Structure 1
Amino acid sequence: MRAPRIAAVLLGVLMSYAGAANAAECHDISHAGQDYTVCRAAPAQDVLRLFLYDDAGKPWGSFRRLDAALHKKGQRLVFAMNAGMYHPDRSPVGHYIEGGQQIMRVIKGAGPGNFGMLPNGVLCLRKGRADVMETGHYMAVAPACTYATQSGPMLLIDGAVHPRFLPDSTSRRVRNGVGTGPDGRMAWFAISQNPVTFYEFAEMFRDALGVQQALYLDGNISRLFAPSLGRADVGLPLGPMVGVVAPVE
């Protein structure tokens, strides 16, 4: 029981930042014998957004390149991670909106790979809130997202673990995802520090972070940029990224 208690204590510490001018923070937690790094953002206080192309229309490709460009404008990345699956040219596989402009339409049907393991979902960022929504629900509600990225599968749907996840699965990867609460006031971004199953990852969002909706972002190229933790993961060029921007201190 020690790991869940540690996670609960850390969750309380994170929540204590809710009144701060910049609420975004990253911390390490443990749950059910696995270690994770969790970053949180409060959309009413933090500038939370998606990034794909630079001003020349080329993919940013890396956290460091994006952060360097922001620094020239007197800004910085508080944290960032990859934000959805993408093609070899780094264009998004699923629905994508940036700055109110739709770059890729919603993909409705099932398909091969994790993205097509229905139900999948969409992270929608609007003024003052962030919501993970199952794709069918997203299409029915048609929210006016300033930023949106579609990925899959859903990890949690209304607090229930995705029906195709197996508790005894042997498929393990370093995975990252995002979860949100019903009021849209908080978004939790998590990455495992070691290979975990889908089921373990979903349970962490539900039991350690207490969210009802959570979305898988990837498991082959999962990476995190978190300067406060001395972390700047590198690897193959990235497609969509999600992160919090703040003024340079």
Structure 2
Amino acid sequence: MAALWPASAQAADCRALTHEGAEFTICEIDAGTEVIRLFHSTPEGEVLGSFPRVDQMLRDRGERLGVAMNAGMYHNDLGPVGLYVEEGQQAMRLITSKGPGNFGLLPNGVFCIRDGRADVIESLAFEAAAPDCRYATQSGPMLVIDGALHPRFLPDSDSVHVRNGVGTSADGQRVVLAISDERVNFYTFGTLFRDTLKLPNALYFDGKVSRLYAPGSGRHDRGFPMGPIVGVVEDATD
């Protein structure tokens, strides 16, 4: 299958960052010039589950996987917990009801990728607006909602994990993937996006399966198979 968007020649910029005394790695992506996609299964329906398998699938098309990260929670069969859209085809519906775990810690949200932009949108706002996302993954909780921190986050919370997520600018052009390099609570992770990265909306991806693939930096976090994966697609000939 040929690429439907022109592959990016510019690699996402990843760097180390310190916030509130904790260490993070962030990867800046320009949604206007770089190709951002979500991956879950092969055309035959087999779950990809890992960065190397996504990369191999892309290389068969003359492309390669640039910066990538796990992109949302999933069931034991690796199926997405909430809304999932790939190449315009919806594989799982939007869930707006309160539920167990971090996903159900409302408000949660959707990472929506459209031609030339990408946005984190709170789930009820997403339902009302019904944007035409070419790719979308739902996760939760929201970390930052229109510039405000999630109301349930506490500065002194002792619930700490390695965490990862995504934030977007108001114009949908700046996308930042972030992962903590040590265990942090939700408050510290949320304020990273709000106060240091200055992003008005940010979404939590996970805290037990947080992984980053950044070949330009020599980083490849490994582990058990994953569900949805977000990544930048590059031209393999560059």
TM-score, normalisation: structure 2: 0.94
Q: How far does residue 142 in structure 1 lie from its aligned partner after superposition? A: 0.5
Q: How many residues align?
A: 230
Q: In 1, distance between residues paired with 2:67 and 2:27?
A: 7
SS in 1 for 2:78: coil
Q: How far does residue 182 in structure 1 lie from its aligned partner after superposition? A: 0.7
Q: How far does residue 78 in structure 1 lie from its aligned partner after superposition? A: 1.1
2:76 is matched with which residue? 88
Deviations 1:53-105 (A, max 9, x none): 01221110100111122122221111100000000111100001000000001
Query: Would you say the 8 A contact 2:31–2:174 is kept in 1?
Result: yes
SS in 2 for 1:70: helix
Of 103, 112, 125, which aligns to 2:100? Answer: 112
Aligned pair 1:127/2:115, yes or no?
Answer: yes
Aligned pair 1:234/2:222, yes or no?
Answer: yes
Code of the residue aligned with 2:13 in structure 1: it is E
Q: In 2, distance between residues paired with 1:208 and 1:58?
A: 39
Q: How far does residue 158 in structure 1 lie from its aligned partner after superposition? A: 1.1
Query: Which structure 2 segments of 5+ residues have no match?
Result: 1-7
Q: In 2, distance between residues paired with 1:142 and 1:22?
A: 31
2:14 is matched with which residue? 26
SS in 1 for 2:133: coil
Q: In 2, distance between residues paired with 1:65 and 1:101?
A: 21
Equivalence map 1:147-226=2 (5 Å): 147-226=135-214
Equivalence map 1:31-42=2 (5 Å): 31-42=19-30
Equivalence map 1:39-118=2 (5 Å): 39-118=27-106
Deviations 1:7-38 (A, max 9, x none): xxxxxxxxxxxxx9526221111111111111
Query: Would you say the 8 A contact 2:163–2:207 is kept in 1?
Result: yes
SS in 1 for 2:99: coil
Q: How far does residue 162 in structure 1 lie from its aligned partner after superposition? A: 0.5
SS in 1 for 2:127: helix
Query: Would you say the 8 A contact 1:126–1:144 is kept in 2?
Result: yes
Q: In 1, distance between residues paired with 2:11 and 2:32?
A: 9
Q: In 1, distance between residues paired with 2:11 and 2:116?
A: 13
Query: Would you say the 8 A contact 1:23–1:42 is kept in 2?
Result: no
Query: Would you say the 8 A contact 2:9–2:235 is kept in 1?
Result: no
Query: Would you say the 8 A contact 1:23–1:45 is kept in 2?
Result: no
Code of the residue aligned with 2:85 in structure 1: it is I
> Please, what is the CA RMSD of the aligned residues?
1.1
Code of the residue aligned with 1:130 in structure 2: it is A
Give the structure with the larger helix fraction: 1
Query: Which structure 1 segments of 5+ residues have no match?
Result: 1-19
Code of the residue aligned with 1:140 in structure 2: it is A
Q: In 2, distance between residues paired with 1:43 and 1:182?
A: 12
